[in-house]
Homo-oligomer: A and B are copies of this chain.
Amino acid sequence: MSRARFLAGDGRAVVVAIDHPLYSWPCRGLEDREEILRQVSAAGADAVIASYGTIRDLRPAFGKAAPILKLDLTTVTLGSNYPLTEYVPAWTVEDALRLEVEAVLTYVQLGAPFELEALRVAGQVAAACDRHGLTYVCEIMPIECAMYPDPAAPEAIAAASRAGAELGAHVIKTTMPIPATSLADSVACGVPVILAGGALASDRTQLLQQVATAVDQGAAGVAFGRNVWGSRDPAGMVASLCDIVHAGRKAAAQ
A interface residues, Cβ below 8 angstroms from B: 1, 19, 21-23, 25-26, 31-34, 51-54, 56-57, 73-82, 86, 88-92, 95, 98, 110-113, 115-117, 119-120, 122-124, 126-127, 130-131, 142, 145-148, 155, 158-160, 162-169, 188, 190-191
CB distance from A184 to the nearest CB of B (A): 11
Chain B residue contacts of A77, Cβ below 8 A: 110-111, 115, 142, 145-148
- In contact, B111 and A53 (Cβ under 8 angstroms): no
- In contact, B1 and A57 (Cβ under 8 angstroms): yes
- In contact, A51 and B115 (Cβ under 8 angstroms): no
Q: How far is the CA of A167 from the CA of B124 in the complex (A)?
A: 22
Contact of A190 among B57, B73, B76 (CB under 8 A): B57
| A118: nearest chain-B partner, CB-CB | B75
- Report the copy number of this chain in the oligomer: 5
- In contact, A88 and B76 (Cβ under 8 angstroms): no
Chain B residue contacts of A52, Cβ below 8 A: 123, 126-127, 166-168
3 pairs of A and B residues whose beta carbons are closest in the complex: A90-B123, A80-B145, A25-B159
- In contact, B90 and A25 (Cβ under 8 angstroms): no
Select the residue from A26, A91, A116 with max chain B CB neighbours within 10 A.
A116
Contact of A54 among B32, B127, B148, B166 (CB under 8 A): B166
CB distance from A116 to the nearest CB of B (A): 5
Q: How far is the CA of A75 from the CA of B117 in the complex (A)?
A: 9
- In contact, A75 and B165 (Cβ under 8 angstroms): no
- In contact, B74 and A116 (Cβ under 8 angstroms): yes
Chain B residue contacts of A119, Cβ below 8 A: 73, 75-76, 90
Q: How far is the CA of A250 from the CA of B142 in the complex (A)?
A: 49
- Mind listing 25 A-B residue pairs with CB under 8 Å? A19-B166, A21-B165, A25-B159, A26-B155, A31-B188, A51-B166, A51-B168, A52-B123, A52-B167, A53-B164, A54-B165, A57-B190, A73-B120, A75-B116, A76-B115, A76-B147, A76-B163, A77-B110, A78-B147, A80-B111, A80-B148, A81-B145, A82-B116, A88-B117, A95-B130
- In contact, B53 and A168 (Cβ under 8 angstroms): yes
Chain B residue contacts of A110, Cβ below 8 A: 75-77
Q: How far is the CA of A23 from the CA of B73 in the complex (A)?
A: 25
- In contact, A168 and B56 (Cβ under 8 angstroms): yes
